Amino acid sequence: MDKKKLINKYDKQVSIYENNLNNSTLNNWRRQIIKDAYGKVMEVGVGVGANFPYYDKDKVTEITGVDFSTKMIESAQETALKYNVNADFINHDISTIRLEVNSYDSIVSTLTLCSYPDPVDTLNKFNSWCKKGGTILLMEHGLSTNPLLSMAMKGINPLYNRISGCHCNRNIVKLVEKSNLKIERIDRFWSGIFVLVWARPTKS
């Protein structure tokens, strides 16, 4: 999908994501993974700031949230104020942004790998932005490990993509395995549709 159209689509979905701030299932998963972020954090595709309540303020020194949707960032700024989170924001496309290498202790991505045109390339950027020994924390949705569900997801993907702007036919674990990241732990939920992935960068 054309980038301008995609940004417009996400701009219009702000209220849906604001309502999702109360989604107890998602929040339970967010709680499990976001608590492991520490130091200088880069949160990609920050949306309305749904992870902000779950950062450990004793471990996190600063958060930079990136999103190409101005409306999402405006909403995330309010969430940061509400939860007293020290965050700044960059309104930019993650696929083209230039950030200093080895500059973040933690890279956080929740529900964003479904959107990027080249998710492996983006994961490799996480690898490059993350400091040696740092952590990459993912909470993503994609193809189920159940063959029937997986077949159905592949079938509905073109319609799903037209409506939501994202893809439901991506095998998230395989994408991470293809990237330079080193997986340390994977937790799967809902027949593998949702995954939590703890990973580390590989540095030469």
Ligand X SMILES: C[S@@+](CC[C@H](N)C(=O)[O-])C[C@H]1O[C@@H](n2cnc3c(N)ncnc32)[C@H](O)[C@@H]1O
Binding residues vs ligand X (CB under 6 A): 10, 17, 45-47, 50, 66-69, 72, 93-95, 110-112, 115-116, 166
If the CB atoms of residues 118 and 151 are measured against ligand X, the closer one turns out to be: 118
What is the distance between the alpha carbons of residues 189 and 24, in angstroms, rounded to a whole number? 14
- Closest residue to bound ligand X by CB: 47
Concatenated DSSP letters for 126-169?
HHHHEEEEEEEEEEEE---SSHHHHHHHHHHHHHHHHHHSS-S-
Closer of 89 and 127 to ligand X (Cβ): 89
Compute the least distance from the CB of residue 132 to ligand X, in Å.
25
Q: Compute the least distance from the CB of residue 6 to ligand X, in Å.
A: 7
Cβ at position 95, least distance to ligand X in Å: 5
Query: Cβ of residue 115: shortest distance to ligand X, in angstroms?
Result: 4
Residue 204 CA, distance from chain mean position: 25
Question: Which is closer to ligand X, CB of 94 or CB of 195?
Answer: 94
Measuring CA to CA, which residue among 142, 147, 192, 145 is closest to residue 172?
142
Overall residue count recorded for the chain in this entry:
204
Which residue in the block uniquely carries the two structure tokens 């956080």?
108
Query: Is the Cβ of residue 113 or residue 130 nearer to ligand X in the bound state?
Result: 113
